[in-house]
Every structure is written in structure tokens, then in C-alpha cells.
Structure 1
Amino acid sequence: MEELIVLVQGIVLGFAIAAPVGPIGLLCIRRTIQHGPLMGFFTGFGAAIADTIYGAIAAFGVSTALSFLRGHETAFQLVGGIFLLVVAVRTFRQRPEDEEREVEPVVDSKTWIGGFMTGLSLTLTNPATIMAFIAIFAGFGLGGTLSRIEASTLVLGVFLGASLWWFTLSMGVAAVRHRISDRGLVMLNHCTGVALACFGLWALGLAVTGMVSMAME
């Protein structure tokens, strides 16, 4: 019974961590509209795997990994910021093709893998994710008090909850994507590109601030 409660807690936590609309959410929405629900889901699924990895580090209290992430937070922010800006420029400049809306798009496995790797990379280069897990675990009284079975169950729940969110989002967007016009797709690309650029600049700003702080110490 206790394991079931922990599993439900993990599902709720995974869903809550994934649900706020950020860079991955914007990419999931855009790619679902332009390439179909599988492409959108795999983009989010990459983020779900990254959330699961960070959730496992927080649940098991892996001190070495935590120290590494905290010690290299500025580097992660720098890489993540640059990556976001590259994705932002490509997204802003991309124009929809008529056939992508007129027929069901054929997406090969390499494209799915590309979406998966984008979601995984962007989430792994955001160390704030693991800090969020640590804070939430502490808030729920889960920090450092779990057995190995309970920690494993919690991590499984995080994976299921995060995956459920991305499945729900991609399926929901897919239900209305054929109603969006070419002009709407262009506006979506522009808005998504600008938003991603803002996230990237924010990450770079944090990285620069961190480097300045270290230089002054």
C-alpha cells in the first residue's frame, strides 16, 4: 500500500514538473502541429527521460552527481542558452509546407530521434530541473527518507507522470492542428522562435552572471 502511495506521488510530481509551458512545451506544440502527434510526443518524451534521470538523482540522493551539477551549473546554462538560441533561429525562419497539413505527414525514425534528442538535451542542460525536484521532494517530506524500493517506485511514477503530460499535450494539440492556417503556422513559428530566444537569453544571462561572480571571488 505504501508503494502505491509513493507511485501516485511520483506520478503527480512528474506531471507537475513537466506541465508548466517552457521551451520544450512550445516545441512540442509546434512540432505536433507541423509534423503530427508522434513528433510532438517524442520531443516531450526526451524531456520526460531527462526528468526521470534528475528525479532519480534527487530520490536516491546521489551526492557526487549533485555536486557535479551544482559545480558546473554555469556551464550547463551556457550550453543550454546557446542551444536554445540555435533552435529559436531555426524555428523563427521555418515556413510551413502545404502538404504537411493536407495529408498525414510521414515521419521517419531519424526525425523522431531528432525530436527526442532535442527534448533530452534541452532538459539535461537545465540544472534548475533537479533543484526543483529536490525542493518538491523536501516539501513532500521525501528527501533522504526513502528506501531503495520506495525511491525506485517514486522515480517510476515521475516517468509515468511526465510521459502522461506529453502524451496528453501532443494528442490535444493534434486534435485541432488541421484547423490552423498557413498564416497561423507562420505566426506560431515566429512566436515560438521569439519565446525560445527569450529563454535562451535568460539562460545566457544567468551564465554570464555566474561567471562574473566567480571572477570576483
Structure 2
Amino acid sequence: MSGVALFSQALLVGWAIAAPVGPIGLLVIERTLRYGRAAGLVTGLGAASADALYATVGVAGLGMLTAWLTRLALPLALFGSGFLIWLGVATLRRAPAERAAAGAGAGLAGYAVSAFALTLSNPLTVLSFVAVFAGLAGRQAPGAVAGVVMITGVFCGSVLWWLMLAGTVGWLGGKLSTCWRRRIDTLCGLLLLGFGAALGVRALLG
């Protein structure tokens, strides 16, 4: 497979993993509406960086590390559950008046780190990368160049999705009234609580 074709397929993998509506998507939407496009984009970049890290493990086929991450699935899932519930409560308690503040500087770094940690709280993602990359590489361990191409493609695909989502939400947000922004905030907070509770129950029930 040519480098361009491999990159294109890996880009689609990154896009497909990022695109489904989930906790990170809700965070990007909520932060974009509240703090602006930059906040939403760096949140997505944090998630994309975690995807790239897991993609690296998947490409390298690090069996011991994969097994170790799998054993950590329960505590990490519980961490993710608690983190989502906290984010949901914080979103519901935050006043609409705070909307114009806290969108730059250290706040942006915090948005990226929180999304990175939340994405890493699902270590089983690495197993999907192992399976997908095995298919792309023809069931053979990819070489160094092919591995870099696949990891880069995953990262770019993920970033592209978050860039489009933050840009679209930012554009729509400028047309929404304060009342509708608050309603969307409330919906995002409730959904984050729901995702957190579901993740915790699923982790405990195995």
C-alpha cells in the first residue's frame, strides 16, 4: 500500500474514532459556546493527542503494555466516570455570566490536559487500534515509516474533526441568545452526568 493511501486510511480511522457523539464532543461543544473556538479546539487537540498515543502503542504492537493497560481498565474507567460526573455538575452549576471569562492562558492548557486524561481513561481503545492497524498493514507488523504515517494520519483525522466541530459550533453560537446558550449548557451538563454514570455502572458490572 502506498504512503498516501495508508495515510488516507489512517486519517479516516482517526476521524471515525473522534466523530461519534460522546463526552469529549460534549466538552468541545460546551467549551466552545462558553469560552470560544480556541477553548473547544484545544479540548479536541488534547483528545487527539491521547488517540495518537494509543495509536503509537497499537502500531508498535507492545503486547506487555497493551496487557497492562487492559488490566488498568477498571480503575481508569472509574476515574473517567468520576471525572465526567464532576464536569457535569460543574457545567450545571456554572452561571451564564461566566461565559465571557476564562478562555485563554492557563485555562486553555487545562482544557487540553483534561480532555487528554479523559480520553486515556478508556485504555481498551488501544485494542481497536491494534486490530485496525493489523488490517491496514496486512496482518504484518508495520515498518517504522509506515507506523509514523499511520500515527500521523490518526492524529490529523482526529484534529480535523475537532477543528470542524469547534468551528461550526462557534459560528452557530454567535447566533444563539443567552437563553438558548443556557439551555444547551444544561443539556451538556446532564448528558455528561449520564455518560459518567453509565461508564461507572458498565465498569463495575464488567
Q: Which residue of 2 aligns with 1:108?
A: 104
Give aligned-pair identity as a percent.
32
CA distance in 1, matches of 2:28, 2:109: 14
1:144: Cα distance to partner? 3.9
What residue ranges of structure 1 are gaps of 5+ in the alignment?
211-217
**Is the Cα–Cα contact under 8 Å of residues 43 and 119 in structure 1 kept in the other structure?**
yes
1:131: Cα distance to partner? 2.8
Q: Which residue of 2 aligns with 1:164?
A: 160
CA distance in 2, matches of 1:77, 1:99: 30
Of residues 108-117 and 90-99 in structure 1, the stretch that sits farther from structure 2 once superposed is 90-99
CA distance in 2, matches of 1:43, 1:72: 24
**Is the Cα–Cα contact under 8 Å of residues 43 and 115 in structure 1 kept in the other structure?**
yes
Q: Name the amino acid aligned to 1:109.
A: G
Post-superposition Cα deviations, 1:138-174, rounded to whole Å, max 9, x if no partner, equal: 4545554311210111001111111111111111111
Residues 1:122 and 2:118 are matched in the alignment: yes
Q: Which residue of 2 aligns with 1:213?
A: none
Q: Name the amino acid aligned to 1:171.
A: G
The TM-score, its normalising length taken from structure 1, stands at 0.88
CA distance in 1, matches of 2:126, 2:119: 10
**Is the Cα–Cα contact under 8 Å of residues 134 and 143 in structure 1 kept in the other structure?**
no
The TM-score, its normalising length taken from structure 2, stands at 0.93
1:99: Cα distance to partner? 6.9
- 2:96 alignment partner, SS class: coil
Q: Which residue of 2 aligns with 1:203?
A: 199
What residue ranges of structure 2 are gaps of 5+ in the alignment?
none
Q: Name the amino acid aligned to 1:89.
A: V
Say if 1:143 and 1:163 are closer, same or farther in 2 by CA, change over 3 A. farther
Say if 1:99 and 1:191 are closer, same or farther in 2 by CA, change over 3 A. closer
Give RMSD over aligned pairs. Answer: 1.8
Q: Name the amino acid aligned to 2:124.
A: A
Q: Which residue of 2 aligns with 1:65?
A: 65
Aligned residues: 206
Post-superposition Cα deviations, 1:87-135, rounded to whole Å, max 9, x if no partner, equal: 11001111212873xxxx6732201001101110110011232233234
